[in-house]
């Protein structure tokens, strides 16, 4: 089974920057907070020490998670697919929503990069999954939590 995580170069870079931040800033802050809390005496009744240990546990867990995602990253450059006629990972897809009679553009990205406010949807979301593999002018029926949506693909762009 392939356990790679598809992501764009920007998403990969963002994870690397977050990892650096946790290693260079958050981890030392957590160690310092524990040291300060130890200086306040009895650890068995020291809420500040418990909070510092909890924060350290969170920081170490996030570092481990980021390292794992970076190690399993499959960085995909959408520009490599510019001659493709199908919707693939990384494509910017403009669809006409038949239900609301509006056009909307989505960029299909990895789970960690998804941000609906920026028009980025996850490749594993219902809309992302449904659009993958379709061509220009295809009509796509998508089951979403709010019901069935009907989209017509009006543009596919690979940046």
Report the pLDDT value the prediction gives residue 132, as an integer from 0 to 100: 93
pLDDT value, residue 95: 95
Q: What is the model's pTM?
A: 0.78
Q: SS3 of 38, please?
A: helix
Mark the ranges of the chain whose per-residue pLDDT is less than 50. Answer: 1
Domain 5-75 class?
mainly alpha
Report pLDDT for 37.
85
Q: What is the CATH number of domain 78-157?
A: 3.10.50.30
Helices then strands, each counted (H, E), the chain: 4, 7
Question: Which residues, other chains included, contact 120 with Cβ-Cβ below 8 Å and sequence gap of 6+?
Answer: 106, 107, 109, 113, 114
pLDDT at 145: 84
Q: Kindly list the domain boundaries of the chain, sorted by start residue.
A: 5-75, 78-157
Question: How far is 107 from 10, CA to CA, in rounded Å?
Answer: 13
What is residue 43's predicted lDDT score, i.e. its pLDDT? 66
Phi then psi for residue 21, to 5 deg, are: -60, -45
Strands 120-122 and 102-109: parallel
What is the C-alpha to C-alpha distance for residues 5 and 68, in angstroms, rounded to an integer? Answer: 10
pLDDT reported for residue 42: 67
| Predicted pLDDT at 32 | 94
SS3 label, residue 13? helix
Q: In what order do the strands lie in the sheet with 147-157?
A: 120-122, 102-109, 92-97, 147-157, 139-144
């Amino acid at each position: 089974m392939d356990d790679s995580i598809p992501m764009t170069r920007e998403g990969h870079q963002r994870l690397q920057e977050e990892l650096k931040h946790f290693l260079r800033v958050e981890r030392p802050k957590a160690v310092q907070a524990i040291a300060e809390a130890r200086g306040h005496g009895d650890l068995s009744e020291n809420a500040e020490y418990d909070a510092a240990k909890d924060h350290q546990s969170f920081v170490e867990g996030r570092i481990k998670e980021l390292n794992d995602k970076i190690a399993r990253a499959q960085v995909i450059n959408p520009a490599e697919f510019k001659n493709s006629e199908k919707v693939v990972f990384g494509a910017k897809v403009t669809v006409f929503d038949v239900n609301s009679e509006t056009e909307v553009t989505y960029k299909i990205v990895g789970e960690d990069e998804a941000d609906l406010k920026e028009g980025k949807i996850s490749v594993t979301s219902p809309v992302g999954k449904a659009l993958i593999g379709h061509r220009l002018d295809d009509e796509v029926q998508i089951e979403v939590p709010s019901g069935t949506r009907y989209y017509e693909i009006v543009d596919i762009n690979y940046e």
